[in-house]
Amino acid sequence: MEEERLQRLQNSAAEGNVDTLFSILAEDPNVLELINRIPFVTTPLHTAASCGKVHFSREIVNLKPSFASKRDRLGRSPLHLALEGKKLQQRRSPRDLDLEENYQEIVTWLIHYDRELVLVTAKGWVTPLHYAAEIDDESSLADFLYVCPSSIRKATVKWENAVHVALKNGSLRAFKVLIGWLRRFDREPILYSEDEDGNNALHTAISENQPEAVKLLIKYMEVNRKNGRGLTALDIFYDRQGSLNPEVGEILRGAKAKRASQLHPQHKPPKSLADYFRSDLSFMESILKRLGLGDQSIKTIPFKVRNVMLVVVVLITTATYETALSPPGELYRGVSNGVGNLQPANNSTAISNTATTTIFPKGPPKLVDSIIMLRSYVQLIFSVLNFFAFFTSLCSLSILITGLPFSSIISASMCLMVCSFYFAAMEILFYQEFTNAEYTFLMFLLAISALAAYCIPVLMKGQEDELTIQGWQRKLSLGSFKVQTTKI
């Protein structure tokens, strides 16, 4: 009786009969729960998705949301089956366009219902993104990247990302969508991700005889990088020259590609992680280490901790900025003679009424505001320490916002703020108080501090990008075990 009810349920899913579904639930309210208890099973949602039944799919998800991420005995989710049904429908002759639209509607509805469904892996760790790249389904591929950008980091059991899959299956339209997305969202380092044979995207495009893909890739990739077997792109072409399009070789030679034997000694293959640890610290790494940033990555700091740090840094930045505009001491108004000497403002009339003519080397006298402090060197020490505190806090702020949305715009805004307000404030308040040598020294320290504040975050990002491109983090960030074991 129970098996018969389950079969009726599957038949209603294949037909898209919602009324039969609810009549079966009236007979046995636990029927869906019995299916859900089985770890790997073909649910009614799998059947409805593979048959393009839109309304039934929505109804069953409404009744049992967990079915959306359930996997059958091959690890396929309903989203996988909807893509497969769409592919089969496109290959049929004549094509049923209405049914094809139904499959697309199911795909679109599922990923907007739960974007994490794009991360569900089937047999071979194939995600819906990989499958869309394989079947050259550019519309679904674009939707997956839009709703779930992290899916690009997932790799198959053969360490193939979506770019590898598209190239190996000749899916040129899907490949162009991937390239466009990587360019727009600054993810080009993913092109250097290597499959199990050590081939990045360019090596794969050559091996698969894809001249148009090669032409696109050499714009964004280093053409002479070696693969896991120590072969450059040109080596791969000559090894398989008889079976490859001659246009591939022309493109490579036009991009000044070389064979491994022709490379200068400094063109070394990427180091292994062990070689990297054995090597000496680079200049960039030495600087970061001395600043206590050698083993830190902003991405590893929890957001709660980062928020607390941001509050503290903003308070320090505000305090030091306000102190620079209103330093200790009292404001004094006097007449400047243009060489750093001030005379009381109330003597200006007396000066003009006397027979003695006062000579001003830098122009006529003018009223200026000045800060009176104990001695000039005290003011200099105060200003230097305040400058360092201000720019150190700015550096910390730039580091903390690295990787956040609009971080580049915020950093640019801070730079403009410093140039327009802070430098101008120092010019107005302290130019008359210091000698030329003291003022030059102060502005030199100000410029060095500003440069350091903006260079340190750039150095940190550069080091992380270099590690990624070199492939040291290939299996830790580009399709990593950490990402692949994320709970769906």
Q: How does pLDDT run across 239-248, given as a tens digit for each residue?
A: 888 888 899 9
Is residue 366 assigned to a domain?
Answer: yes
Which of 79, 113, 147 marks a domain boundary? 113
Of 122-126, 323-327, 332-336, the least confident: 332-336
pLDDT of 405-443, one tens digit each? 677 777 777 777 766 666 666 666 665 556 677 667 767
Examine residue 324 and state whether it is found in any structural domain, yes or no. Answer: yes
pLDDT in tens, 29-79: 999 999 999 999 999 999 999 999 999 999 999 999 999 999 999 999 999
Residue 259 lies in a domain: no
Looking at residue 292, its pLDDT comes to 62
Residue 142, in any domain of the structure: no
Q: How far apart are CA 183 and CA 179, in angstroms?
A: 6
Domain harbouring 59, CATH code: 1.25.40.20
Per-chain mean pLDDT for the chain = 78
| pLDDT of residue 142 exceeding 90 | yes
Residue 328 domain flag: yes
Query: How much is the pTM?
Result: 0.68
What integer pLDDT is reported at residue 116 of this predicted model? 94
Final residue before a domain boundary, out of 80, 113, 146: 113
Q: Which domain holds residue 9?
A: 1-113
Provide the number of structural domains found in the chain.
2
Q: Which of 60, 80, 113 is the last residue of a domain?
A: 113
Note whether residue 230 is domain-resident.
no
Does residue 209 fall inside a structural domain?
Answer: no
- 350-385 pLDDT, tens digit per residue, is 334 444 444 444 444 444 444 444 445 676 677 778
210 is a domain residue: no
